[in-house]
Amino acid sequence: MRLDKDVLSIQEMRNALNKAHRAQKVYETFSQQQIDRIVKNVADAAFRSSERLAEMAVEETKMGVVLHKKMKNEVSSRNVYESIKDEKTIGVIHRDHHAKITEIAYPFGVVAAIIPTTNPTSTAIFKTLISLKSGNGIVVSPHPRATNCTIEALKVCNEAAIEVGAPEGLIGWITNPTLEATTQLMKHKLTNVILATGGIGLVRAAYSSGKPAYGVGPGNVPVYIEKTANVAKAIKNIVDSKTFDNGTICATEQALVVDQHVKELAIRELKKNKVHFVESEEKEKMEKIISPVIGQLNPEIVGKSAVEISQMAGIKVPVDTRVIIAEESRLEKSAPFSIEKLSPVLALFTAANKENAKEICKGLLDLGGRGHSLSIHTNENQIAEEFANEMPVSRIIVNTLSTMGAVGATTGLKPSFTLGCGSYGGNITGDNISVRHLMNVKRLAFSTKEVTIPQESNESSRSIATFDNKVQEVVESVLGNLTFDNNTIDRKELQLLVQKVVSQIQS
């Protein structure tokens, strides 16, 4: 009898979790030196396999560009390693002798990692490295359309880890992933923390699993060319960024917002960079292929080249076309050019001034990119800071490729392939996720000051008793000067009344 695919997938997930749990209990006893040796060997092995894994990813997913995926694999292995190699993650990590506090790190346990189809091998390498560095085990659920290349990346990491002493089973995966198995992975009692990279539904499922979770949202990234910008350089950066791996990184620019004073110059530079403008009938054809259903991106165009997408839309473009662009003014989900496109397709908005640019950028972010990123090209640092203060995003990338800048390749941001969107995007953090998000810290705190707790003294008690006696004397004195008959209040009732009043005054 052939078993149901979900049943097989769930059982495989449980087996992987059990192995990872047992292996992690051994692994958490390792020293910082042992862990660092394992992490370095994994990073080196992944780096050496960057090109082969890139080829596998493009072949399987039919998305992106081999050379660009190779670069992403290199960043996720070598650059990520360089950014975490010196961090203390096990045992005592800090001593504050003045405050008399010692910080001690300990791992979560087993990380449940969900991998997207757009960046399958690089994300798998990245999540494995930061999990191992922080003393955790990891079980991965690949995207069904990128299973083989993701598992191959994990096998490279696993073999390298075991080679230098990691316990077997520390890195696990599901070879036949299903939605039900992934859902149960996130809720399983042996899962200790979740790293979810994917669509809104997946991220919501991670946050509702009852487990600590780092989920990231979509990135409908606006890029503003302010009037003082070096327009030629800005346009080159934007086109290079938009075509990197055919736009599959969530931090890629999705809509160009140009100050009207430099619009004509920007259009000339766009054409120099082999950007094809569509309008009227061609624009309508592109809109239908971008979003056949209002507000929903057509997955068939994700990671495809501009020429391929134009062919799908029935539009003829020069064979060297890099990006397709259309002028737009609508800030609504029914405008396909205004949503996140994850492909070399751009919208062009014209801003009358800086304030109008802010309105357009906020409108674009409200369509599905709140909390993620915004890019700006300007020679006025004050304007960049103004946008940083006012825009509902977690990172503002200035004068560079948004794709590269957001993940930390061309900026000082932490190299990462999981970018938090903060409270703007309903995420627990707006950080570039890294090692410190996968480790806990306990604190040993010694006494630094003495505190005196006020106590009730005997003298105070005597004073209160003396006061009580005086009150009683007053009551008796009052009663002694009063006369009572059958038409007046009872003496005992009056006594109780007076005592109650005085008692209230006393308190």
DSSP character at residue 3: P
Whole-number Å distance between alpha carbons of 154 and 140: 9
Helix, strand, coil % (nearest 5) of the chain?
50, 15, 35
Q: What backbone phi and psi angles, to 5 degrees, belong to 502?
A: -65, -40
The answer for residues whose C-beta is within 8 angstroms of residue 355's C-beta and 6 or more apart is none
How far is it, in rounded angstroms, from Cα 285 to Cα 302?
A: 17
How many Cβ atoms from other residues are within 10 Å of residue 19's Cβ?
Answer: 19
Q: How far is CA 349 from the centre of its chain?
A: 28
What is the sign, positive or negative, of the torsion defined by CA atoms of 292, 294, 298, 304?
Answer: positive
Residue 450, classified by CB atoms within 10 Å of its CB into exposed (0-12), middle (13-18) or buried (19+), is exposed
Distance (Å, rounded) from C-alpha 437 to C-alpha 113?
A: 14
Which tokens sit at 307? 């020429």
DSSP 299-311: GGGTT--HHHHHH
The number of residues making up the chain comes to 507
Of 294, 111, 92, 98, which is closest to residue 190 (Cα–Cα)?
111
Catalytic residue, chosen from 149, 157, 250, 421, is 250
Residues 182 and 418: their CA atoms lie apart, in Å, by 18
Instruction: Starting at the earlier edge strand, list the strands of the sheet with 345-351.
Output: 275-277, 323-327, 345-351, 253-259, 221-225, 371-377, 393-398
Residue type, 439: M
Please state whether beta strands 110-114 and 193-197 pair in parallel, antiparallel, or not at all (unpaired).
Answer: parallel
The position carrying tokens 């825009």 is: 391
Residues β-bridged to residue 111: 138, 193
Q: Is 250 a catalytic residue?
A: yes
Dihedral over alpha carbons 36, 427, 71, 233 (to 10 degrees): -130
Measured in degrees and rounded to the nearest 5, phi and psi for residue 250 equal -65, -15
| Catalytic sites, residue numbers | 250
